[in-house]
Each structure stands twice: as structure tokens, then as C-alpha cells.
A and B are shown apart, each in its own frame.
Chain A
């Protein structure tokens, strides 16, 4: 019994630096995913491109929400902005270069996070969450009202012939995001973020310039989300505000990060896979009420897996330890 838990701890959290095994396994899984386009199965390609997209969004959220502890409830704004950048590039400049779109989207999002970050990141806890939600909603409305950006009806985007190009692009972004998270988790910067999360005041006393690092973290998460959005726009062929700012794109990444393990390197990826699997299963078995079940899934995950799968693997004391940890939250 003791041996099993010792083994399990190996694939668990590994502290802030991220568990080596979890990371290598994630890389392996991503390598395998490269194979998907050659299967010539449109459904699978869409499915796994979706997984990669959500994994990227979740990894991005994890940086500001998981590591830094600033729970953003509006990171979808960067995804939406990224998607809008792509649609504008095509509509007004006839540009289809995916790399250009990604880079431009990332720059715009980073600037947004930089400018908004200073005032917004001063807010704590609930207030920060609400403020980010507000920003997302306001931005959606503003874009809906500016015709040059697509207005309420959005733009269609003519897709390039090589459809799988978008799959590979999304894959590349996901890999970059995962590797970036890995390096952040082992760097001084990563420790600054976690210190801010654990006790911002103590961190400042120890010399951490909290404002600077929080803003940088948000910029990084913004860039990841925007990159994913810009690729999504091309892959989807059509972008309008309800699509790009969809609630799903806001909430799923968060639930995935929680499901996999908040503040871990591989957690978001694990969560993206598991949640997509659950979603697809529910969709195919209960097409009418799948959103209903999905709400139930979220409730169950939050109640019983508040720290995620990876943490579950690392918990000491077996089942009783697990139950005890849940008790800490109740009144």
C-alpha cells in the first residue's frame, strides 16, 4: 500500500517545478497527435484540433489563474480579439498568412493585457474575476458595434486549400504553450508568480515586484489565448462576436485546468482531453440534454475533484486522506 502511494506520488504534482514524468508523457501524447491529419478523418481532425485549442486556452489561463492565483473569468476576451484580428486581416487586407495572423494577434492581446493589467490587477479575488468578466462582455459589445471589426454579423474567411494547415498551426501553438509553461515553472519568474499567489505581501517583502510580474503573467496568458483564437478563426471559416466570445471558450479552459490540476504544467492538457472526451460522449449519447449533463459534470468536478486529477494521484493517505482534504472546505 505504501509502495503504491509512493509510486503515485511520482506522477503527481512535483511541487511547483512540475512533474518530469507528467511533462514527458504530455510531450509523447502531443507527438502522437501529429499523426491525426494523415488519418484523413474530418471528424477526428476537428475533434483533436478542438482539444489542442482548449488545451492552449487552458494553459494560458493556468499561468494567470493557476500559478499567479489571479482567477480571470474573462480570458475569452483575448481569444475573441485574436479571432477578430484574423478575420480583419482577411476581410480588409486579403491576408491569409497564418503566421502573420498569429503574431499580430499575440501582439494586440499582449498590448491589451499590458494596458488593462495595471489597473485591473490591483483588484483582488472576486473583484478581479468580475472585472475580467466585465472586460470580456464590454469588448464583445464594442466589437459588435464597430463595423470595420465585423460588427454584429462578423466576417467569413476563405480558407486556404491546405486545410490541415490549421491543425498543425494549433498543434504548434499548443506545444509552444506547454513548453513555455514548463520553463516558467522551473524559472525564477515561476517562483515569483507562485509566491504572489501564496502571499503577495510576503512576496513583496522578499523583493518580488508583484505588479510587474502579474502583468507579465497576464500578457503571456493573453498571447496564448489570442494565438489560439487567430487560428480558430481560419479553421472555422467564420467569425462573429457570439462565436468568438462564446461562454464555452471562457469557462471550459478553467474547468479543464481544475480537472487536470490547477497550477501544474500538464494539468490543463490532461483536463482538455478528459473534458472533451466527456463532452463528446455526452453529445453522442444524449444529444438533447447534453448541456444539462455538462452542468452536472461541472458541479461534480468542483465538489469532488477541486484540485484535479494530477493532485488526486499525489494525495497521501489514500482514500481517507482524500476525503479528509475535501472536509477542509465545508462548514
Chain B
């Protein structure tokens, strides 16, 4: 019984095929990077996994259930949580209250009283680094703090799987490092992560495996450094001519390398 399985998922919007027969598995405890050029279907995939969209074909299996069969407000009770690229805070509530709502209605919510939910919220604020702004209205936060709030709210649901949708967009270098640390901390607590990111540095340093989408299809899957070097991926991101030139360059490098190995030892 696999942990989280995406089976032949297809998604159509009218005439547009946003996802086309995508399949992969997510291992428990891993950090999966989902990458691909703009418009490749990454956010659509996130929406399908988190139950926001019902796929036109195929299904997502998790914890013995098909996600599409579950109602929106029950998805978090299964153990899947996500952040949104365009953050959705409860504007006039304080930061602490925002996270508390998740703690109240998430997976463990029914066991918590209001007071306990607030205590849990405070814990999470400290983990993500928002404790100092706990009493601020959510609408008054800076961009990096809003992203942290999204993550905190998702964590309040006590998820087994956390989907992060471009949490690092708009962050500067220091903030990116902080975000990477946060991801590692969360993963260390046993949460499986699926991350959509454009920032290669982040993906490379944090992912245990990578899936690459292009034009709705999966074109590569595997360990980060393998995937990133594969010609298909380079072609998808940078175009065919660049990929071919890159391959020619790699060929030349290999020949030079061979030549150098042969030379010192003098003749064949």
C-alpha cells in the first residue's frame, strides 16, 4: 500500500489539456520537488492532489481513499494540507487567530477546545517564526510573513502531507534560506512535503526526489541532480537548440577528458 499515489491523472479545462496522464508516487517522509516551466501544470497538479479540482481522468490515492471522492472540508481530515500561491489569510483576524482556526477544525480539531487551539497556534507561530507578530491583523503583515502564515495555517491541520505552492516567490536571499530551514524542520517532524518551486537552489538543497512536468506531461522523475542534468529537462526549460549545444558541449568535454587521461601516460 503506497503512501500517496498519483495515478494517470489528466485535467481538461474546455479545450486546454492542463495535465496529461501523469503518474508518480510519493514516499512517506520524503520531500518531492515538482518543477517545470511556466504553464506546465504544476499548480493544477497541486490543486488535484489537494482536492480543489476533481481530475478529468485518473485519480489520487491517499490513506486508502481517492481524494476526488472527499468533500473539500474533509480533505484536511485525511491528512493533506496546502499553502496557496496567492495567500488567503483571514484579513481582519489576528495572526494567532488565523492559525487557531486551522487548529480548531483540522484533523485533531475536534479534540481541542478554543483555549487548546490557541495554545497550539502559539506553538506553531514559534516554529515558523511569527511569534512576534501574533497579535497583528493578518492584513498588516509583510510578504514573507504572509507566506509564513500560510505555512503555519497548513501546519495547524496536523497534516501528514504538506503541499507548498511557490512559498519562496518574492523572497530575498536571506528569507529563502530561512524558508529552506523551515522546510527541513517540518520534514524532520515527520511531515511529507511536495514543493512547487522555481528556485533551483531551493529544490536542489531540500528535495529527496524531483518530478518534472512540461506541457502537462511528466518528462522526468528521479534524484535531483540526475533530473536536472537530463537533456529532456534542459530542452523543456531552455529549448531544443540549447539542449543540443549543451549535449555537444558535454561530448567535447568528455573527449578532452579522455585525451588528457591518455596523454600523460604517453602512447596507446
Contact = CB atoms under 8 A, between A and B. Distances in A.
A286 B5 CA distance: 74
Contact of A188 (B52, B81, B114): B114
Interface string B58-69: 000000000000
Interface string B69-82: 00111111100011
B43 to A, nearest CB: 15
B101 interface: yes
A210 interface: yes
B93 A206 contact: no
B73 A210 contact: yes
B253 interface: no
B105 A187 contact: no
A205 B72 contact: yes
A204 interface: yes
B117 interface: yes
Contact of A199 (B71, B81, B90): B90
A188 B104 contact: yes
Interface residues of B, number: 34
A206 B106 contact: yes
Contacts of B72: 204-205
A246 interface: no
A23 B74 CA distance: 36
Given A191-B104, A192-B101, A198 B153 contact: no
Interface in B123-180: 153, 156-157
A180 interface: no
Nearest to B51: A205
Contacts of B74: 207
Contacts of A209: 71, 73
Contacts of B107: 207
Interface in A60-116: none
A194 B102 CA distance: 13
Contact of A207 (B50, B94, B97, B109): B109
A197 to B, nearest CB: 8
Contacts of B194: none
Contacts of A207: 73-74, 76-77, 102, 105-107, 109, 157
B88 A191 contact: no
A198 B114 contact: no
Given A206-B102, A206-B105, A208-B105, A194 B93 contact: yes
A199 B114 contact: no
A132 to B, nearest CB: 24
Interface residues of A, number: 21
A202 interface: yes
Given A186-B114, A187-B114, A210-B73, A203 B93 contact: no
Contacts of B90: 194-195, 198-199, 202-203
Contacts of A186: 114
Contacts of A16: 93, 97
Nearest to A202: B88
Nearest to B112: A188
Contact of B101 (A187, A195, A210): A195
A15 interface: yes
A248 interface: no
B106 to A, nearest CB: 5
Contacts of B101: 191-192, 195, 203, 206, 208
Nearest to A207: B105
B256 to A, nearest CB: 54
Given A194-B90, A202-B88, A203-B101, A208 B117 contact: no
A280 interface: no
Contacts of B19: none
A15 B113 CA distance: 19
Interface centre among A186, A191, A201 (most CB of B within 10 A): A191
A203 B89 CA distance: 9
B100 A191 contact: yes
Contacts of A205: 50, 52, 72-73, 75-76, 81-82, 88
Contacts of B92: 194, 198
A206 B156 CA distance: 9
Nearest to A201: B88
A208 B73 contact: yes
A55 B136 CA distance: 31
A206 B94 contact: no
Contacts of B81: 205
Interface in A170-200: 186-188, 191-192, 194-195, 198-199
Contact of B153 (A201, A206, A208, A210): A206
25 contacts: A15-B93, A15-B97, A16-B93, A188-B109, A188-B117, A191-B101, A191-B104, A194-B90, A194-B92, A194-B93, A195-B93, A195-B101, A198-B89, A198-B90, A199-B88, A201-B88, A205-B50, A205-B75, A206-B102, A206-B105, A206-B106, A207-B77, A207-B106, A207-B109, A208-B73
Given A188-B104, A198-B90, A207-B73, 13 more contacts: A188-B105, A191-B100, A192-B101, A195-B93, A198-B91, A198-B92, A202-B90, A205-B88, A207-B74, A207-B109, A208-B73, A208-B105, A210-B73
Nearest first, the 8 A-B pairs at minimum CB distance are A207-B105, A198-B90, A202-B88, A204-B72, A206-B102, A207-B76, A204-B73, A188-B104
